[in-house]
Amino acid sequence: MDRLQRKVALITGATKGIGETAARLFAQEGAFVTICGRDSVSGEKIAAELNAQREDTAIFCKLDVTNYENWKETIAFTQKKFGKLNILINNAGISFRETVAETTPDTWQKTLNTNQTGVFYGIKLGIEAMAKTGEPCAIVNTASIDGRVGDADFFSYCATKAAVEAMTKCAALYCGAQKLPIRVNAVAPGYILTPMAQEDARQNGQTLEEYCAEFIALHPIGRIGTPDDVAKAYLYLASEESSFVTGTTLMVDGGYTAQ
Ligand code: NAI
């Protein structure tokens, strides 16, 4: 229950899905949490629930990860409220079910803005804020099986998730070279049952049952993942239990990429 005691964590895209589950888990483990997202109603509600369990545990801060100034304000707000920043979980992401032929300049740019540029902004400003703490800090980015293997139906998404792995390695090496006590890693989930998966099923013209049946078959472990599976991987990489781990990507994919 105290794996993140006295740590201050900022989680993007935390108003639903994997990010929400991570915010709740991190609070349970003793962290102070800035819940970031664009949905104020959901974000304020989650923060209030966490504060009812332990006073002054969580705040909601509206953050569109594609906006650099908004990032600066959110980190400054976190530092003002909690005094520092130790952990950044770059979780926010979007996907379009589109082949290279179907991808438009608009959807390409939207995917890059959120999944790649948004993560760059977070890493850059996160390192700047964490360097001031002098404490062990961690950044965890969210890649995907789709950054490791190609998927004809997710052209721009695959491109951005591969970029997340590259940025993770470069930033980890930078922190090492600068002797900053900041580790940078990524988690690469397989198919996880979240609102994103529900939207993907919709775009694919499938019911959720049909969608799950199709994608379970691709995961040797015999099921698709839960938000909790990914949140626990974030927790490991954010905590000092992974103090010798940096510059790597942890596959949380039920064996999808082992085949
Ligand atoms: P979700 O769609 O349920 O939640 C994503 C969150 O990101 C939402 O709260 C959304 O509002 C937020 N978001 C999107 N664009 C944003 C922006 N510009 N600024 C701020 N917030 C923004 O998705 P889910 O499934 O929880 O995904 C979380 C992460 O896990 C994403 O990076 C996704 O790419 C990754 N992932 C998910 C998989 C899945 O099967 N669900 C598989 C592999 C990776």
Q: What is the pLDDT of residues 64-82, one digit of tens each?
A: 999 999 999 999 999 999 9
* pLDDT tens figures, 182-223: 999 999 999 999 998 899 899 889 999 999 999 999 999 999
pTM above threshold 0.85: yes
Q: Is 201 helix (H, G, I), strand (E, B) or coil?
A: helix
**Separation between Cα atoms, residue 121 and residue 126, nearest integer Å:** 8
How would residue 1 be classed by pLDDT, with cut points 50, 70 and 90?
A: confident
Could you tell which of 18, 111, 146 is best to mutate to test the pocket of ligand 1, judged by most ligand atoms within 8 Å of the CB? 18
Percent composition of the chain: helix, strand, coil (DSSP 3-state, to 5): 50, 15, 35
Statement: residue 87 has pLDDT above 90: yes
If you ran DSSP here, which 8-state letter would residue 19 be given? H
For position 166, what pLDDT does the model report?
98
**Separation between Cα atoms, residue 46 and residue 37, nearest integer Å:** 11
**Separation between Cα atoms, residue 43 and residue 59, nearest integer Å:** 8
Per DSSP, helices labelled H in 132-221 are: 155-177, 195-203, 208-216
Cα 93 to averaged position of ligand 1 atoms, centre (Å): 4
Closest residue by Cα to atom 2, ligand 1, is 196
**Separation between Cα atoms, residue 186 and residue 238, nearest integer Å:** 10
Cα 66 to averaged position of ligand 1 atoms, centre (Å): 13
Q: Give catalytic status of residue 211 as yes or no.
A: no
> Quick one: average pLDDT of 145-155?
97
- Residues with Cβ within 6 A of ligand 1? 12-13, 15-19, 37-38, 63-66, 91-95, 114, 118, 142, 144, 189, 191-192, 194-197
> Quick one: average pLDDT of 46-54?
98
How would residue 231 be classed by pLDDT, with cut points 50, 70 and 90?
A: very high
Cross-strand pairs, 37: 62
- State the DSSP H helix or E strand holding residue 246, giving kind and residue range, or none if neither: none
> Chain-wide mean pLDDT for the chain?
97
**Separation between Cα atoms, residue 218 and residue 147, nearest integer Å:** 16
Tokens standing for residue 65? 């990860």
If you ran DSSP here, which 8-state letter would residue 194 be given? S
Statement: residue 35 has pLDDT above 80: yes
> Quick one: average pLDDT of 93-108?
97
Cα 134 to averaged position of ligand 1 atoms, centre (Å): 31
Cβ neighbours around 241 below 10 Å, total = 11
In sequence order, the 6+-apart residues with CB closer than 8 A to the CB of 95 are 111, 154, 157, 196, 200
Atom from ligand 1 closest to the CA of residue 192: 40
**Separation between Cα atoms, residue 22 and residue 175, nearest integer Å:** 25
* pLDDT tens figures, 53-67: 999 999 999 999 999
Question: Of the listed 121, 157, 211, 234, which one is catalytic?
Answer: 157
Cα 235 to averaged position of ligand 1 atoms, centre (Å): 17
